Homo-oligomer: A and B are copies of this chain.
Amino acid sequence: MAGRHFLFVPGPTNVPDRVLRAMARPMVDHRSSAFPALTTGLLRDLRPVFGTTAGQPVIFAATGTGGWEVALVNACRPGDRLLAVRNGQFSHLFVDAAQRLGFDVETIDVPWGEGVPADAIEQRLRADGGAAIRAVLVVHNETATGVTSDIGAVRAAIDAAGHPALLFVDGVSSVGSIPFRFDDWRVDAAIAGSQKGLMLPPGLGIVCLSERALGAALEPGGARGFFDLRPMLQANADGYFPYTPALSLLFGLREALDMFAEEGLPNVFARHARLASGVRAAVAEWGLALCAARPELESNTVSAVVVPDGADARRVIDLAFRRYDLSLGGGLGRLAGRVFRIGHLGDVNELMLLGALAGVEMSLADAGIDVTLGSGVAAAQRLWRRSYGATDGAIESAAITAGAS
């Protein structure tokens, strides 16, 4: 197919050309005296992305799934009791991973589309007199349902219960796109992946750890191999890695962090909020519902759109892919066929999203779902126009020259 593919799954996201170029560098010796400068700079500049000054980021050649394991096997020990909230496919898989790794996971299940219920957590922790629960596991942004939960409330709940549980937060589809306040929320392990807000290809699991989590990691015990933090922390201290790191992704991460610095993280977050508002306006205009149960839960990085009863979201997705070169996310687990998902995180802007929304409209229509072509686009346009000041100063005299081809 001619032209550019429109990639609007909620990960992998669109990798900026300059990140791709930064990655296309020849290899270097990861044990040379010149190497630590790279490592040190990356670990330093990851901190603000997690909203931390005291937390310690580590970078593994893995994915977010591997990041979960980093947190679990280092800060906990097999058999430990964990309290986890399940409100979507990724929180479900987080629980599943913990169980397969030998943890005793107690779950709080809420309908998919709901957020993390801080009150239920508080209640359960209050009941845990002996503090048997070692850690609380929640997902900041449920990629499967497009729901962002209030982690500050979770922290407040733990505090209110006076419980010493560690707090593990999956930030795979929020870190870098939605404000993450590691320090404010006193998170103990935050898990991110390279392929979402960090604008990189998949291949890195990035975890930020609190002092408490690090302390637990240094204690003996547990079966820890590749994800053992001890050799990693020891090597990182000198700017090295215990084994060959995924160099090209590190080169790309350097560039992505520079881009964050150039745009300014607050602006990155504001852009995601503005773009998400437009997408939601389009969905509303189409007369479709979001999977998120309430407006305050709606995610700024991914919108899960529910198709009308009788329709199959998989058909919409398939038509979009084959006819219009547009990739949309599918419904996962119990949502298969019920929702399609529009990823609007990472390196995206208004016109890219308007093209994608236009493609969604055509795919919906092709799938026999009643939608007015152009209607969602117009709703987003109205919002995105309004998001600029009515006047943005005198327009400079247009620099237009006439000339030959």
> A residues within 8 Å of B by Cβ?
1-7, 9, 11-15, 17, 20-36, 61-66, 68-69, 72-73, 78, 89-90, 93, 97, 100-102, 143, 172-173, 193, 195-196, 201-203, 223-228, 231, 235, 238, 240-249, 263, 268, 271, 312, 314-315, 317-319, 321-327, 329-333, 336, 347-356, 358-359, 361-362, 365-366, 372-375, 377-379, 381-382, 384-385, 388, 392, 395-405
| In the complex, chain B residues whose CB is within 8 Å of the CB of A402 | 89, 330, 332-333, 336
| In the complex, chain B residues whose CB is within 8 Å of the CB of A97 | 225-226, 404
CB of A179, distance to nearest CB on chain B (Å): 17
Contact, CB under 8 Å: A385 / B398:
no
CB of A272, distance to nearest CB on chain B (Å): 9
A362–B6 alpha-carbon span in the complex (Å): 21
| In the complex, chain B residues whose CB is within 8 Å of the CB of A400 | 31, 314, 317, 330-331, 336
Q: Using A32-B327, A78-B223, A395-B315 as known contacts, say yes or no to A246 and B201 having CB atoms under 8 A apart.
A: yes
A90–B402 alpha-carbon span in the complex (Å): 10
Contact, CB under 8 Å: B27 / A201:
yes
Contact, CB under 8 Å: A359 / B366:
no
Closest to A402 in B: B332
Can you list 17 A-B pairs, Cβ within 8 angstroms, ordered by A? A4-B347, A4-B349, A20-B25, A33-B399, A65-B225, A97-B225, A101-B224, A172-B405, A195-B244, A201-B246, A202-B246, A240-B403, A242-B404, A314-B400, A355-B356, A373-B381, A377-B377
Quick one: which of A143, A172, A223, A325 has the most chain B CB within 10 A? A223
| In the complex, chain B residues whose CB is within 8 Å of the CB of A64 | 243-244, 404-405
| In the complex, chain B residues whose CB is within 8 Å of the CB of A22 | 21
> In the complex this chain forms, how many copies of it are found?
4
Interchain residue pairs A-B with the least CB separation, the first 5: A374-B378, A3-B349, A355-B355, A314-B398, A203-B246
| In the complex, chain B residues whose CB is within 8 Å of the CB of A374 | 374-375, 377-379, 381
CB of A300, distance to nearest CB on chain B (Å): 14
Contact, CB under 8 Å: B401 / A240:
yes
| In the complex, chain B residues whose CB is within 8 Å of the CB of A89 | 402, 404
| In the complex, chain B residues whose CB is within 8 Å of the CB of A201 | 27, 246-249
CB of A389, distance to nearest CB on chain B (Å): 10
Contact, CB under 8 Å: B23 / A223:
no
| In the complex, chain B residues whose CB is within 8 Å of the CB of A203 | 61, 203, 246-249
A374–B26 alpha-carbon span in the complex (Å): 28
Supplied contacts A202-B247, A358-B381, A374-B375, 4 more A-B pairs, CB within 8 Å? A97-B404, A172-B405, A193-B244, A350-B359
| In the complex, chain B residues whose CB is within 8 Å of the CB of A193 | 244, 405
* Cross-chain contact of A29 among B9, B102, B379 (Cβ < 8 A): B9
Contact, CB under 8 Å: A33 / B398:
yes
A23–B35 alpha-carbon span in the complex (Å): 22
Quick one: which of A22, A65, A102, A402 has the most chain B CB within 10 A? A402
